[in-house]
Amino acid sequence: SQQGEEDPQALSIQEGENATMNCSYKTSINNLQWYRQNSGRGLVHLILIRSNEREKHSGRLRVTLDTSKKSSSLLITASRAADTASYFCAGNAGGTSYGKLTFGQGTILTVHP
Amino acid sequence: DAGVTQSPTHLIKTRGQQVTLRCSPKSGHDTVSWYQQALGQGPQFIFQYYEEEERQRGNFPDRFSGHQFPNYSSELNVNALLLGDSALYLCASSFPGTGGVVRELFFGEGSRLTVL
């Protein structure tokens, strides 16, 4: 079963608007990562936030993490049509979990030109 | 710098058959993980290979097996295929990390398996 749950499942916006996606997870994590996937192709790593961090920025991306609520959010500012994709959060528990990432079900983002 | 490469990209099998999928990791990476992604779902962890051994396994039956070669490339084998095995199979490579922590996975484009 999936550990993470993304909200919303689908998001449709106009170019230039901001897109916010939320993720909740169930077990303790060492870090939480966000990935992007274009139309059933491979996933691309976007950003990683450690459990002792609360906010992180990378270009137009801003990620927050609230470990007390077991939740994270991804904000894409000034969206572009090229941002249209599925976005997944994935938790890494560390320890004996080694390379296992537990993915959520994803948010499908559509950005209209 | 070659990224993660997977083959074949698409294949069709019938129930009961066996399939082998192949993966070459990104240059410099020695750890390979396999994920199954059903349509409309997030990827699910199958297993990870490091130093030619299975280091961690997800909740998949023994019909799913793998191998890692000395050059770090890897194979995923699925026996006795079921209709429910139809999915996109993703290979990801990484550095092994310390203390079980994985920092970033580099994914291939996947092998799409259809079981009829």
Give the pLDDT band of residue A3 (cuts 50, 70, 90).
low
* Chains A–B, number of C-beta pairs less than 8 Å apart: 90
pLDDT value for A7:
87
Q: How do A10-14 and A107-112 pair as beta strands? A: parallel
Q: Which two tokens stand for residue B57?
A: 């396994």
pLDDT in tens, B51-60: 899 988 999 9
Residues in chain A within 8 Å Cβ distance of B50:
98-99
Burial B5-31 (b: 16+ CB within 10 A, else e): ebeeeeeebeeeeebebbbbbbeebbb
pLDDT interval class at A1 (50, 70, 90): very low
Q: Is the pLDDT of residue A42 over 60?
A: yes
Nearest Cα neighbor of B106 from B41, B30, B51 is B30
How close B10 gets to chain A, by Cα (Å)?
A: 12
CA distance B71 to chain A (A): 19
In which band, very low, low, confident or very high, does the pLDDT at A2 lie, cut at 50, 70 and 90?
very low
Give yes or no for B53 touching A (CB within 8 A): no
Q: What is the pLDDT of residues A48-85, one digit of tens each?
A: 999 999 999 999 999 999 999 999 999 999 999 999 99
What is the rounded distance in angstroms from the CA atom of residue B24 to the CA atom of residue A107? Answer: 29
- Across the range B75-96, mean pLDDT stands at 94
Distance CA A32, CA A49 (A): 5
Give the model confidence (pLDDT) of B29-43 as tens digits.
889 999 999 999 999
Closest-CA residue in chain A for B93? A99
B105·A101 Cβ contact <8 A: yes
